[in-house]
Amino acid sequence: MRSVGVEEELLLVDARSGEPLALSGALLEAADRFVERQPDGGGESQGHTFEKELQEEQLEFATKPVTEMGELLKEITRWRGEAARHAASAGALVAALGTSPLPVQPSLSAGKRYEWVGEQFGLTAQEQLTCGCHIHVSVDSDEEGVAVLDRIRPWLPVLTAMSANSPFWQGEDSGYASYRSRVWNRLPSAGPTDLFGSADRYHEQVRAMLDTGVLRDKGMMYFDARLSAAYPTVEVRVADVCLDASTPVLLAALVRGLVETASRAWQDGQPPARINTGLLRLAAWRAGRSGLDGPLIDPRTMRETSPAVAVEALHAHVREALADHGDDERVREGITRLLEHGNGARVQRALLRTEGTLGGMTTRCAEITTGARA
Q: What angle do CA 30, 18, 112 make, to 5 degrees?
A: 50
**Sequence-ordered list of residues with C-beta below 8 angstroms from that of 89, at least 6 positions apart, any chain:** 30
Q: Is residue 53 part of a domain?
A: no
**Sequence-ordered list of residues with C-beta below 8 angstroms from that of 354, at least 6 positions apart, any chain:** none
CATH of the domain at 225: 3.30.590.20
What is the Cα 158 distance to its own chain's centre? 13
Q: How confident is the model at residue 46 (pLDDT cuts 50, 70, 90)?
A: low
What is the reported pTM? 0.95
Q: How confident is the model at residue 372 (pLDDT cuts 50, 70, 90)?
A: low
Summarised one tens digit per residue, pLDDT across range 346-368 is 999 999 999 999 999 999 999 99
Mean per-residue pLDDT of the chain: 95
Q: Is residue 361 part of a domain?
A: yes
Region at 184 (left for phi over 0; alpha for psi -120 to 50; beta for the rest): alpha
Q: What is the mean pLDDT of residues 62-68?
A: 96
Q: Is residue 337 part of a domain?
A: yes
Summarised one tens digit per residue, pLDDT across range 141-155 is 999 999 999 999 999
| Secondary structure of residue 62 in the 3-state scheme | strand
Looking at this protein, which amino acid is placed at residue 36? E
Q: Is residue 257 part of a domain?
A: yes
Q: What is the residue range of 263's domain?
A: 109-369
Q: Is the pLDDT of residue 44 over 70?
A: no
Q: Is residue 185 part of a domain?
A: yes
Q: Is residue 327 part of a domain?
A: yes
Distance CA 299, CA 315 (A): 12
Q: Are 286 and 197 in contact (CB under 8 A)?
A: no
Q: 83: which strand partners?
A: none
Q: How confident is the model at residue 36 (pLDDT cuts 50, 70, 90)?
A: low
What pLDDT score does 29 carry?
A: 87
What pLDDT score does 35 carry?
A: 72
What pLDDT score does 41 carry?
A: 42
pLDDT higher at 149 or 36: 149
Give the chain's domain count. 1
What pLDDT score does 43 carry?
A: 45
Percent of the chain with pLDDT over 70: 96
Summarised one tens digit per residue, pLDDT across range 160-205 is 999 999 999 999 999 999 999 999 999 999 999 999 999 999 999 9
Q: Is the pLDDT of residue 45 over 90?
A: no
Long-range contacts at 181-185 (CB < 8 A, ≥ 24 apart): 181/238, 181/240, 181/284, 181/287, 181/288, 182/285, 182/288, 183/99, 183/127, 183/128, 183/130, 184/128, 184/130, 184/132, 184/222, 185/284
Q: What is the mean pLDDT of residues 6-11?
A: 98
Q: Is residue 172 part of a domain?
A: yes
Distance CA 185, CA 169 (A): 15
